[in-house]
Amino acid sequence: MKNLVNSIIVFVVVLISVQVQAQELKIKGFYLGMNIDEATQVFRQAIPTLTVDVYPNDDYLGCTGLKLRPSLNAIKNECINIQSNEDRIVNYIDLTRSTLDCLFNTEGLPTKEWIIQFISAYDIPKVEAGNGEYYYTDPDNKWVIKFVLGDNGELSRMILKTIGSEQSQTPSFGN
């Protein structure tokens, strides 16, 4: 009986471990739930020529917490938006195509091929299409990754965010 109980405990621990690993999507060292200061260090290591620092979020549409931003003109026409909550936990990662090209060495790779290679490399089962983007929501409905297309149909940015993180950024026009 003791062996049966021990086997059940081991099975449950392994099952929980597999589920936790499946929930986390780590992209070049970045992941939701990491500390914003750790994200800063990961970015500095990934692209040493890019100067990034942590700033308080603008009081824009009710955003709180911190934001990781590049120095001016660090990458031409660049916007890097990694946000955290007030506890410094990253809940939103928005990287433009030029940043992604720097991270993955993919400059010039056509959008369709870029997305196919990305979802293959990160074991994303499939993406859905809609409203100028491709997206995948994790099975536990805790995070979503979006590949946003520009007006020209080319990949413009990739957004990884916790479900519900956009609520703090959505304006309310009601009473």
**Cβ neighbours of residue 114 under 8 Å, at least 6 residues apart?**
100, 106, 155
Amino acid 121: pLDDT: 95
- Nearest partner of 56 among 91, 83, 95, judged by Cα: 83
Phi-psi region of 90 (alpha: psi -120 to 50; beta: other; left: phi over 0): beta
Q: How far does CA 98 lie from the centroid of its chain?
A: 16
Amino acid 116: pLDDT: 95
Using pLDDT thresholds of 50, 70 and 90, give the confidence band for residue 75.
very low
Domain boundaries, the chain: 25-169
Q: Each residue of 1-15: pLDDT tens digit?
A: 555 444 344 333 333
Using pLDDT thresholds of 50, 70 and 90, give the confidence band for residue 120.
very high
- Nearest partner of 81 among 107, 54, 104, 109, judged by Cα: 54
Using pLDDT thresholds of 50, 70 and 90, give the confidence band for residue 80.
confident
Higher pLDDT, 168 or 14: 168
Please name the residue that has the structure tokens 């003109």. 73
Q: Taking the model in full, what pTM does it have?
A: 0.72
